[in-house]
Chains A and B, each alone.
Chain A
Amino acid sequence: MSMGTTNRTSAMLAATLFAAAISGCSNNPSSGSAAYKAGELGNGDFLFACAGKNQDGAACLPYTNATTKFPTRIASGSTFDITFVAKSDQGTKLITDNPRYEGVVVDGVEPYVRRTVDGTFSATQPGYAVVYARDSAGSVIDFTSPIHIVKVDNLAIYDAEKYVADNNDENKVPVPVDSIELTVGTPRSFRVRAEDANGEPLAGSIAVSWKSGTDADKLSAHSLAWVGVLQGFAPVETDVTIEGAAIKKTVHVTVKAAEVTQ
């Protein structure tokens, strides 16, 4: 065997191992999981994911953007992600036994859902939305049954740290808070989840702005990634405003003095 042949063989072996490693790296739920929504044409499944990690208390597991169940209801005004999976394979090139799909893109049928510039989906108005996968030739590979986009009636606030503490129970929906208590000098972070008119949680990530009111010198409220961070500088009773998904609400905040240890 020549040196060239040996090199070629080694390269082929390395490529094969690399391909095997890549294909084995999928973190997708196993086939048959409720996280998938079967395509209407029977060519594959659609997998829901949160638009970012750890920000969708209604649908996603803590510290991940993965979900165990494809949500039946998504908040209007929220963002989320959906990928197309064919025979456990996903990405722009789906190599199944037959056929083979190249340049796969997942997109939405307007006007109820729209692909955003950052590649996630935006639920643009209440109704029923369809998401579809197409190949580089523009041929539709498959599409979802209609996904219910629901009007948001309330943004429920919950303690981001409690959410962390609850991570042993992936089905537990975080408990919302009606008011917030802080101690001077100790910042706390909060998240929101969208709810419908019946108080039922809705999937999808809501971009929320947190703003302190006239007592900004005693209480700071600002948005950081997907959480609102509150920090008290002096004792005060005041309100902060949160806005997102066309909802604006105020939350009463009490800042107490830190206990002085003798």
Chain B
Amino acid sequence: MISTMKSLVRTGVLLGGIAFGLAACGPEYDHTDITLTQKSSGLEGEFSSQRIVITEGGVITAHIVPWNDDKDPLSLTLREKASSVNAEPMVEIHPTVKDRTYAFFGTKAGQTAIEFVVDGTVVLTVPVLVTKQTEP
């Protein structure tokens, strides 16, 4: 009797382990492709996974696609990482009418960061520099 119960427990543990392993083998976030598509002419603008530069009052757009390891595109949320609760936003982020292309408005000069969120998890944080316009 005892030996039968031990056998059942071992089987249960084994099946549970297999189920957990299978679940862990599902597609996971892999990487994000980023392409700068437009910037306000005559104003500074850069966009990469390492650094974003926007001129205060200017606009840049970027095509951004996060991928899983099955090479499927994932849905993305972008948000400015606020330095404090009452911090004034330095960047406005809007979707554009073009799929997976986003517009970034520099609204206040300073340093901030943008978080790339996939399935509720921050997968990338990119520092942002919003530069002051040079005197026209």
Interface locus among A3-11, A144-152, A210-218, A227-235: A144-152
Q: How many residues of B contact A (CB 8 A)?
A: 24
A135 to B95, CA, bound (A): 10
Q: CB of B36 within 8 A of chain A?
A: no
Query: Which of B43, B59, B107, B133 is close to A132, meaning CB atoms less than 8 Å apart?
Result: B59
The answer to whether B40 touches A40, judged by C-beta atoms less than 8 angstroms apart, is yes
Q: CB of B103 within 8 A of chain A?
A: yes
Please encode chain B, from 31 to 55, with 1 for each CB lying within 8 Å of some chain A CB and 0 for all others: 0000000101111000000000001
Could you say which residues of chain A place their CB within 8 Å of the CB of B108?
111
Interface residues in A118-145 by Cβ distance below 8 A to B read 126-130, 132, 134-135, 137-141, 143, 145
A132 to B41, CA, bound (A): 14
Q: CB of A189 within 8 A of chain B?
A: no
Could you say which residues of chain A place their CB within 8 Å of the CB of B92?
109
- B40 → chain A closest CB, angstroms: 5
The answer to whether B136 touches A150, judged by C-beta atoms less than 8 angstroms apart, is yes
A132 to B103, CA, bound (A): 10
> With contacts A40-B38, A109-B105, A145-B40 known, is A140 near B58, CB below 8 A?
no
The answer to whether B58 touches A111, judged by C-beta atoms less than 8 angstroms apart, is no
> With contacts A40-B40, A127-B136, A128-B42 known, is A141 near B97, CB below 8 A?
yes
Q: CB of B94 within 8 A of chain A?
A: yes
A130 to B39, CA, bound (A): 11
Q: CB of B98 within 8 A of chain A?
A: yes
Q: CB of A99 within 8 A of chain B?
A: yes
- B84 → chain A closest CB, angstroms: 20
A141 to B136, CA, bound (A): 28
- A42 → chain B closest CB, angstroms: 10
Q: CB of B61 within 8 A of chain A?
A: yes
The answer to whether B57 touches A101, judged by C-beta atoms less than 8 angstroms apart, is no
The answer to whether A128 touches B57, judged by C-beta atoms less than 8 angstroms apart, is yes
- A73 → chain B closest CB, angstroms: 10
The answer to whether B42 touches A111, judged by C-beta atoms less than 8 angstroms apart, is no
Please encode chain A, from 25 to 60, with 1 for each CB lying within 8 Å of some chain B CB and 0 for all others: 000000000000000110100000000000000000
Could you say which residues of chain A place their CB within 8 Å of the CB of B40?
40, 128, 130, 143, 145-146
Could you say which residues of chain B place their CB within 8 Å of the CB of A140?
61, 94-97, 103
The answer to whether A111 touches B56, judged by C-beta atoms less than 8 angstroms apart, is yes
Q: CB of A161 within 8 A of chain B?
A: no
- Measured CB to CB, the nearest residue on chain B to A110 is B107
Q: CB of A163 within 8 A of chain B?
A: no
- A97 → chain B closest CB, angstroms: 14
A140 to B136, CA, bound (A): 27
- Measured CB to CB, the nearest residue on chain B to A126 is B136
Interface residues in A132-184 by Cβ distance below 8 A to B read 132, 134-135, 137-141, 143, 145-146, 148-150
Could you say which residues of chain A place their CB within 8 Å of the CB of B95?
137-140
Q: Jot down 21 A-B pairs with beta carbons below 8 A, ordered by A.
A: A40-B40, A40-B59, A43-B97, A109-B92, A109-B106, A109-B107, A110-B107, A111-B57, A112-B56, A127-B136, A128-B40, A128-B55, A135-B97, A139-B95, A140-B103, A141-B97, A143-B59, A145-B40, A146-B41, A148-B136, A150-B136
Give the interface of A toward B (CB within 8 A). 40-41, 43, 99, 101, 109-113, 126-130, 132, 134-135, 137-141, 143, 145-146, 148-150
